[in-house]
Chain A
Amino acid sequence: MIFKKKLPLIVCFIVGILTLLQYYVPNKVSIGYLETMTQWDIIISAFAFLLGLASLFAMHYDKIRRKTQGWGYSLFMFGGVILGLTCGIISKANQTNQEGFITAFGWIYNYVLNPLQGTMFALLAFYVVSASFRAFRVKSGQAFILFLAAVIILFGRVPLGQLIWSKFMSWLPFGISEAIEWIMNFPSTAARRGIMIGIALGAVAMSLKIIFGIEKQYLGGKE
């Protein structure tokens, strides 16, 4: 019990207070403390990655063994790991060799991983459209205001929208650029700052709860 609950709470309290005080102490002792803690974090993360790998392998091995739905993907995962690891070792984790030619590891990185990541990122564009379609269905007064603001910003960002505005809305005393600027600088910023202030206050309260051991669910349970 002492090692599982009390000791982590004591460590958390001491480290929390020291890290807080570190902000006010410009001495090299405090800078060194922060650097040491950061290094520990990196070292622990590196070892924890092994835990992650073990979990990943165990889960996919189990899927293959039990031939559950989609077990072929698990084979693909093992294939990818073996291929990546082999290329990495052969290429000594360098993307180009001494002659400047691309290595197998570099090839995988540049021609497999990067395009795949790019593809995932590009999917965002389509998802934004479908999410916007749902968001812009005008069901209430608030939804209408959201729709109106979105239409102004969307139109104002493309030349066609600017042309339409100048043709049909020129009677207004302001241009579409001014409208966008106003929306972004005032209602949008005000709302965002309100959320950020709430987040900052919540983070302070949460940090204090953790430092003083009031919030201890992260240790694995309430008791």
Chain B
Amino acid sequence: MNLNAAAEILFLDEFSAADMPYDAGEEALLKWKTSPLDSAQATYQVFASTMQTGGWIKVDEFSADKKFASDIKLPFWAWKARKDLHAVAIPLETHFGKLEKNKEYFFKIISIKGRQKFESEIVSTQVKRNWFNFARLNNLVFVLVIFGIFIWTVSHAKRKGLFIRRIAGLDAIDEAIGRATEMGRPIYYITGIGSMSSISTIASTFILGEVAGKVAQYDSYVKVPHYNPIVMTVCKEVVRQAYLQAGRPDSYREDMNFFVSSDQFSYAASVDGMITREKPAACFLIGHFMAESLLLAEVGATVGAIQIAGTDSEHQLPFFFTTCDYTLIGEELYAAGAYLSKEPMLLSTLRLQDYGKFFVIVAVVIGIALMTLSVQYKWDLTDKILENIFKTY
């Protein structure tokens, strides 16, 4: 075949190589202008090497009507999504293994149409490790705004007067513990199968502290079976402190918190067995739950325990609604700490959630209006701007 004989067919105009922006220094970016002759019948073969003179490896091949700058999924503030430019990201680590610092990488492209080929000039670039992912600027702006509101709400924490709506599930804690005391039966507090990195588990430890404090006051007995040993260690300390603060350190027992199993269904089977045998008067199911939620809650309902549940796993909420007397839905679980302690600092942070909800409502209303208008009047730019602003990159 005759190389360069048909240069006028698929000549690579403004062919250049650069570091791929906003990445960890693993990719190079090749760009060249599109040609009116680009079609599905033509092909681009991309070659890369660590030397200018040889050692070429084919790193990509695609038909000429594909891979444009507009196909690279980056937002408008970080990338010009041009349709008149081919752009290809080359993952160098995949082809050359661990990359060396300040090393030059060379690229060339062979365009093929029918029996004719054109070989481009050789271009080179170094890849560098970037320090800021500019594509995530939208997220950073949101986070900074949230930080600002958070600091403002905390610094303006009022000692009195902040209204917090009634959360029936948390108000029922006293009732549940009182019932257990009267009946002389234990209380089961189940923290779910989340680890300490799960926010719902952290929220659960707070409620456990309050529950354990009241259990200590009423001289009742709480059992906390655990799925995760780290959660068990934390909960042991929480319960011990609650007993100390209630002035009942003598009533505290090490075996109130105990490990059962790190296997989901073994844990459920074991706890179900304990609930069936001991018939607790109250069961708290607060934390992160999955398929075992119904297995635990239904058994608790069968033995007639007052059940208070709370989780942020939205798929498990219907099971708790049907089997428990009270259910804390997601955000109520996170608000429990503030609600129970009534600490001004914690209460004030609830305003952050309220402002967030207000923002979401306004954004949804304005978004619906703008999207409707953009469809009606074909405002493609508005559509794109909105999509980019609210997208995760």
Q: Residues of A at under 8 Å CB distance from B?
A: 20, 23-29, 31, 41, 44-45, 48-53, 55-56, 58-59, 62, 69-70, 73, 116-117, 120-121, 123-124, 127-128, 130-132, 134-135, 192, 195-199, 201-210, 212, 214-215, 217-223
Contacts and interface: CB of A to CB of B under 8 A. Distances in A.
Contacts of B229: 45, 48-52, 55
B312 A199 contact: yes
B11 to A, nearest CB: 35
12 contacts: A23-B136, A26-B133, A49-B262, A59-B258, A132-B322, A198-B330, A201-B357, A201-B360, A204-B352, A217-B238, A218-B234, A222-B241
Interface string B189-203: 000000111010011
Given A51-B259, A210-B199, A214-B349, 11 more contacts: A24-B139, A26-B24, A29-B129, A52-B229, A69-B277, A123-B295, A124-B291, A124-B294, A134-B322, A218-B234, A222-B341
B331 A217 contact: no
Interface stretch (B50-58, B77-85, B176-184, B265-273): B265-273
Contacts of B322: 131-132, 134-135
B350 interface: yes
Given A24-B133, A128-B294, A195 B356 contact: no
A209 B341 CA distance: 14
Contacts of B298: 127, 130-131
Interface in B1-57: 22-25
Interface core residue of B241, B265, B345 (most chain A CB under 10 Å): B265
B262 A52 contact: yes
A209 B350 CA distance: 10
B197 A215 contact: no
Nearest to B129: A27
A199 B203 CA distance: 12
A132 B319 CA distance: 9
Contacts of B163: none
Contact of A203 (B139, B154, B205, B334): B334
A196 B133 contact: no
Given A208-B150, A217-B238, A25 B131 contact: yes
Interface string B93-120: 0000000000000000000000000000
A52 B234 contact: no
Interface stretch (B140-148, B167-175, B377-385): B140-148
B259 A24 contact: no
Interface residues of B, number: 83
Interface in B212-245: 226, 228-230, 232-234, 237-238, 240-242, 244-245
Contacts of A220: 234, 237-238, 240-241
B162 to A, nearest CB: 14
Contacts of B197: 41
Residue picked from A27, A117, A206, A217, most chain B C-beta under 10 Å: A217
Contacts of A20: 143
A26 B205 CA distance: 34
Interface in B268-291: 268-269, 273, 277, 291
B206 interface: yes
A138 B133 CA distance: 54
A119 to B, nearest CB: 8
A22 B154 CA distance: 25
Interface of B: 22-25, 129-133, 136, 139-140, 143, 146-147, 150, 154, 195-197, 199, 202-203, 205-206, 209, 226, 228-230, 232-234, 237-238, 240-242, 244-245, 255, 257-260, 262-263, 265-266, 268-269, 273, 277, 291, 294-295, 298, 301-302, 312, 314, 317, 319, 321-323, 329-331, 333-335, 337, 341, 345-346, 349-350, 352-353, 356-357, 360
Contact of A221 (B143, B150, B245, B268): B245
B258 A215 contact: no
B139 A23 contact: yes
Contacts of B25: 27-28
Given A116-B269, A214-B346, A221-B241, A202 B143 contact: no
What 8 A-B pairs come out closest when comparing CB atoms?
A: A221-B241, A52-B229, A220-B237, A202-B334, A202-B331, A199-B330, A52-B259, A120-B265
Nearest to A45: B230
Nearest to A219: B237
Contacts of B196: 218
A209 B259 contact: no
Contacts of A45: 195, 229-230
A205 B262 CA distance: 29
A205 B350 contact: yes
A55 B224 CA distance: 12
B206 A202 contact: no
Given A41-B197, A135-B322, A218 B202 contact: yes
B103 to A, nearest CB: 15
A195 B294 contact: no
Given A56-B260, A116-B265, A210 B202 contact: yes
Contacts of A207: 199
A117 B263 CA distance: 9
